[in-house]
Structure 1
Amino acid sequence: MSDYIKTLSRHRRLTILRFLADSPEYTSNASILEEVCNKFGVTSNRDQIVTDLEWLREQGFVSYDGKGDFVVVTATARGVEIAEGKTRHDGVQRPRPGL
């Protein structure tokens, strides 16, 4: 995996976690997350979103229920801590202060 792809994945994961942290009940779905990532300049397709959601789940940062093409995702307390910069993980971009 190239450095650019790794960097993009780290940013995508942070974008996902930050959006979930600001969402009602810390929940959203994969389609909305794809749109959000693209809106914020983190170029993403559905496969990349689902791949990063699986990675985030393996790390304990999100939980989700996959029902075919519709995936509902919820941030865990640990995922919110990552999104807020209270804790770090090498696989997720650290947020800048004040954001």
Structure 2
Amino acid sequence: MSFPDFISEKRRLTILRYLTEENGYSANDSVMHSVVAHFGFSASRDVVRGDFAWLRDLGLVTVEEISSDVHSAKITQRGIDVAKGNTRVAGVARPGPGN
């Protein structure tokens, strides 16, 4: 696995894990951009939106376009299962033990 792929997998897991903790199980791309930056992932909002779309295509989140500038993702039950490590999906890092 390449380093960029490794980072993408970790960033996607971070997104899913954050959504499991958020009220309403959702967050917009601006908030999520700040979250991934807080955890050390340098990514543009476009990259976050790309992750939202990628996760949506696998049924891990739903995405709503609030406006042309704001997209919101809401985690699905399958996404929660992946965030908790109960289900594995290629392209999303698996959480460590006890996480």
Whether the TM-score (by the shorter chain) exceeds 0.5 is yes
Residue in structure 2 matched with residue 13 of structure 1 by the alignment: 12
Q: TM-score, normalised by structure 1?
A: 0.94
Give runs of aligned pairs for residues 1-99 of structure 1, distance below 5 A.
3-66=2-65, 67-99=67-99
Gaps of 5+ in 1: none
Give 3-state SS (helix, strand or coil) of 2:9's partner.
helix
Aligned residue pairs total 98
Q: TM-score, normalised by structure 2?
A: 0.94
Provide the aligned C-alpha RMSD in A.
1.1
Gaps of 5+ in 2: none
Q: Which runs of 4+ in 1 moved over 4 A?
A: none
Shift of 1:45: 1.1
Give 3-state SS (helix, strand or coil) of 2:19's partner.
helix
